[in-house]
Structure 1
């Protein structure tokens, strides 16, 4: 019996991994997909033509960056829909509008016109019955100190040059966002509860919790 059958996770399930920068979404996406025999959907960071420019000048490139992410995520959701599910997805489209675009606007790095245009596009593309929403969001969380340490350890120069205050605000906004999120069931897991890199068997704990949440969905909570 494979792990998907063992934990009674339907083969068309869409699991989205969410959490602030550096929390380990990409690693979790890979390990969870391997365990379930699912496909993966990754955020395209290396091919993003705006990301480096954005970190150098938030105001100049914020709108371009968010539109790029929205377009890429919409294409990924279309791909997931065409395959009929069975995906683990690195980051949700909801984080773009609920956290990143809103923060850029509220911090003065995106004009009201640009933000309204972005929000209008988001609503037209995502807030429809045709958009394949995730069955569950697996939200990874930890202390701010643990997250900052992980950011430093992975060594991306554009992140190393980013002020600590930016990471603090992003962290706080993520916590506020997930506490009010209600579009689908949420499973929250502390990054210190598991180690899917050095202890592969810890994936069983995650699968067990996912199974319980999927079979007995309750919005919010563990």
Structure 2
């Protein structure tokens, strides 16, 4: 099912899927990439040397984790730029600085000096020629109880050991972040309104909405 041409979505577009942990970003990325005949760009979770340590000790490893993610996302931005676009990306670089690092600094699990270093590095990176803002950010949202159930169902040990309060706070911070985000056009989609695992054909209505937005912003 190749839908890009039908809805006049440019072949060199970069579409980023954002949202809190467990909201279904990876499923959406794969479905969109197949429908649009685009490449995918995923978070390298399994190869991340800090993620497991981070969940065991936020204060000790939060800065290391965020620096790792920042470097990896910048390399992905460069790769997408060099390919000439045509990507669906799992999570944006903006979430790292606007949500995760900020949350740890405000909660005392990241030193303010480390946070200042991190944000300074982020700002320097996004001013380079290799940094391209997405043509569209798809924000996945939904009820907190649905998202918590998805986290439980996928059963990642490091996530199962994390207090529910952490996910609740992240959910609230995502909601707040989205209200002020303006780096690129946004399409908000409620995850309760589709089920791509049971009804993969529902991706077409999402592609139609993408095409409608991009027709007016390109």
Q: For residues 17-75 of structure 1, what are the alpha-carbon distances to aligned partners after superposition, in whole Å with 9 as ceiling and x for unaligned? A: 00000000011101100111000000000000000000000000000000000000000
- CA positional deviation for 1:2: 3.7
Q: Give the 5 Å matches for 1:153-192.
A: 153-192=153-192
The residue that corresponds to 1:89 in the other structure is 89
Report the Cα distance in structure 1 between the residues aligned to 2:4 and 2:156, rounded to whole angstroms.
34
Q: Give the 5 Å matches for 1:23-38.
A: 23-38=23-38
Q: For residues 167-221 of structure 1, what are the alpha-carbon distances to aligned partners after superposition, in whole Å with 9 as ceiling and x for unaligned? A: 000000000001110000000000011111110110011001111111124xxxx
User: Is residue 52 of structure 2 the alignment partner of residue 52 of structure 1?
Assistant: yes
The residue that corresponds to 2:75 in the other structure is 75
Q: For residues 121-141 of structure 1, what are the alpha-carbon distances to aligned partners after superposition, in whole Å with 9 as ceiling and x for unaligned? A: 000001445411100000000
Number of matched residues?
A: 218
Q: Give the 5 Å matches for 1:139-154.
A: 139-154=139-154
TM-score of the aligned structures, taking structure 1 as reference length = 0.96
Higher RCO by CA contacts (8 Å cutoff, separation 6 or greater): 2
Q: Secondary structure at the residue paired with 1:3?
A: coil
User: Is residue 187 of structure 2 the alignment partner of residue 195 of structure 1?
Assistant: no
RMSD, matched Cα: 1.3
| Alignment gaps of 5+ in structure 2 | none
The residue that corresponds to 1:100 in the other structure is 100
The residue that corresponds to 2:121 in the other structure is 121
Report the Cα distance in structure 1 between the residues aligned to 2:139 and 2:49, rounded to whole angstroms.
27
TM-score of the aligned structures, taking structure 2 as reference length = 0.97
Report the Cα distance in structure 2 between the residues aligned to 1:159 and 1:216, rounded to whole angstroms.
40
Over 6 Å off, 4+ runs: none
| Alignment gaps of 5+ in structure 1 | 218-222
